[in-house]
Amino acid sequence: MASLMPNFLSRFFRPFTSSTKMGLGPAEGGAQNIPDTAQKCTVAAGCFWGVEHLFRKNFGEQGLYDARVGYIGGDVNNPGYRAVCTGRTGHAEALQMTFDPSVISYSTLLEFFYKMHDPTTKNRQGADTGTQYRSAIFYHSPEQESMAKEVTEKAQTQWWKSGKISTEILEAGQWWDAETYHQLYLHKNPGG
């Protein structure tokens, strides 16, 4: 019986782990052999589990090489989930995708981003509230910054006329992969 206790306790506290493992092996969803022509798209739109799930579902077979959940936009090195959830690190729960721009465009990914969440609710998506759930686009080049502003204007005038978009458009800084158990979370745990 005593040997079962540590396993039971580890399951109970699992959502609050502070693992610093940075990579996923091929069996856990990590992409292999990504060409140099690939680009990154980094967005925040609430809880990263759902964001990852929706992008993989819609673009997994259409030029998406990889999608990883993690943390960006804060001022603490190597933050863990528990720290980010306090709202004191400044990080957003985010998704960083690596994609083939010859198959899918950056603007298509951003248009989907604006259609799959409510960008008019500042620091909130549904019941999830806090700065870690903010809406943001983190660009990786001047061209991406320009496209992000263009698509945001289109979203405001065509899709979100009744509310002001609060999405931040910021230069991508340091990215931190979330803990391994967060990667492909809704794929592994369909009930959430």
Q: Helices marked H in 14-167 — which ranges?
A: 48-59, 81-85, 106-116, 142-158
d(CA 49, CA 94): 9
47 carries an active-site annotation:
yes
Closest of 191, 184, 179, 188 to residue 54, by C-alpha: 184
Residue 186 carries which DSSP code?
Answer: H
Please report the DSSP string for 132-179 in residue order: GG-EEEEESSHHHHHHHHHHHHHHHHHT-TTS----EEEE----EEPP
Dihedral over alpha carbons 157, 39, 94, 126 (to 10 degrees):
30
d(CA 114, CA 94): 14
**43, 47, 94, 110: which is the annotated catalytic residue?**
47
- Which residues are catalytically annotated? 47
